[in-house]
Structure 1
Amino acid sequence: MNVIDKTLSNDIQLGALLAALDAHADAPLVFRYDGRDVKAGYHVTEVKTGRFDALDCGANPESWTEIFVQLWDIDEDGRTHMPSGKFAKIIRKVSEHVGLPMSAKLTFEVSDGVAPMALYCAATPRIAAGRVSVELAPRPASCKPRDRWLVEEKAKSGCCAPSANQSCCA
């Protein structure tokens, strides 16, 4: 059976993303997904938070807070990629209004306005060639009891923490 081992996660939390962007506020922020950069005119069309309470497939109760950032991948008005500081300012404005927890799970919803939205997790930003690049990886389904078991097994074997170049779905 082929199964994605998601325990090698680099699924950045909101606070860590904002801290990285603050350090390079004037640099263009470029999200990458499906092997390409978002278009220079992309919009942050919505930022929302949700509190989820559920039972997993093992009948275990689960609770978490998740933040969704919706990106509209369009090219408009000859604009350049948004500066990192502007993105951080948008997120902080929303945070002041709805109280976004900085430790919450972060999910990006991306669409070009034609294709259906797809869900992505974000890796730690990388700084190169004068821009901040954030790699988005598809967020697959998972089995939480299995994920917890894998973490326990790796802890028993002394396995190392994930490296900085691994995506959340590695």
Structure 2
Amino acid sequence: MTARSNLGALTGAADPEDIAIGELLAALDGAADLPLVFSYDGRNVKPGYHVTEVKVGRFEALDCGANPESWTEIFIQLWDVNEDRSHMPAGKFVKIIGKVIEHVALDGSAKLTFEVSDGERPMQLHRAALPRIEDGQVRVALSPRPASCKPRDRWLQEQKSCSAPAGAQPCCG
């Protein structure tokens, strides 16, 4: 499968602005030789960026409605530095994640969060959009990870799945 067809195959992602680790890896499959360029805060990461950590977090919590919650999240830390080299090829990024998979079980549907810092500014949390090929590069736009209210998010998801008129009370369970 070519890089272009893999990237196109993911247009049905649950949230194309907040993809899971499995969606990212699937999109990069077949684009191994292309430079992988992340962008955030209106700019590209510098060509010498490093993947400094890949962490798996398994969380147990209570949400604001006192509902128990549990989820797995993958954190990929990018150190945005400039070194005398070009952007990392997508295949090298996939190999780095592959080394993590050898030691830690990764759930392909796990929430994906990028931690980005240039080593001077504080670490910022970002979500990743679906990758796209542009000008011979695989480009991944990162945007700030917003806070959310899980009960409200569930209610909104239920509303999308039913046909209640706007402003009506929840129509689903």
Range class of TM-score, shorter chain: 0.7 to 0.9
The structure whose RCO (Cα within 8 Å, separation 6+) is larger is 1
Residue type at the aligned position of 1:38? V
Aligned residue for 2:9?
A: none
Q: For 1:139 and 1:132, locate their aligned partners in 2 and report how far apart those are by CA, in whole Å.
A: 21
Task: Note the aligned Cα RMSD (angstroms).
Answer: 1.4
Residue type at the aligned position of 2:37? V
Q: Does 1:31 align with 2:38?
A: yes
- Pairs aligned (count): 151
Deviation at 1:108, TM superposition (A): 0.2
Could you state the TM-score of these two structures normalised by the residue count of structure 1?
0.85
Corresponding residue to 1:111 among 114, 117, 128: 117
Distance 1:81 1:8, change over 3 A: closer
Of structures 1 and 2, the larger Rg is shown by 2
Is the Cα–Cα contact under 8 Å of residues 16 and 130 in structure 2 kept in the other structure?
A: no
Q: For 2:139 and 2:89, locate their aligned partners in 1 and report how far apart those are by CA, in whole Å.
A: 11
Could you state the TM-score of these two structures normalised by the residue count of structure 2?
0.84
SS in 2 for 1:133: strand
Q: For 1:22 and 1:9, locate their aligned partners in 2 and report how far apart those are by CA, in whole Å.
A: 17
Distance 1:54 1:103, change over 3 A: same
Deviation at 1:153, TM superposition (A): 1.4
In the TM superposition, what whole-angstrom CA distance separates every residue of 1:109-131 from its partner, at most 9, and x where no partner exists?
00000000000000110011100
Unaligned runs of 5+ in 2: 1-13, 165-173
Is the Cα–Cα contact under 8 Å of residues 80 and 118 in structure 2 kept in the other structure?
A: yes
Which ranges of 4 or more aligned residues in structure 1 deviate by more than 6 Å?
none
Aligned residue for 2:76?
A: 69
In the TM superposition, what whole-angstrom CA distance separates every residue of 1:15-42 from its partner, at most 9, and x where no partner exists?
1111111121000000010111000000
Corresponding residue to 1:51 among 58, 63, 72: 58
In the TM superposition, what whole-angstrom CA distance separates every residue of 1:73-112 from its partner, at most 9, and x where no partner exists?
0001x11000000000000101111112212111000000
Q: For 1:82 and 1:9, locate their aligned partners in 2 and report how far apart those are by CA, in whole Å.
A: 23
Percent identity between matched residues is 71
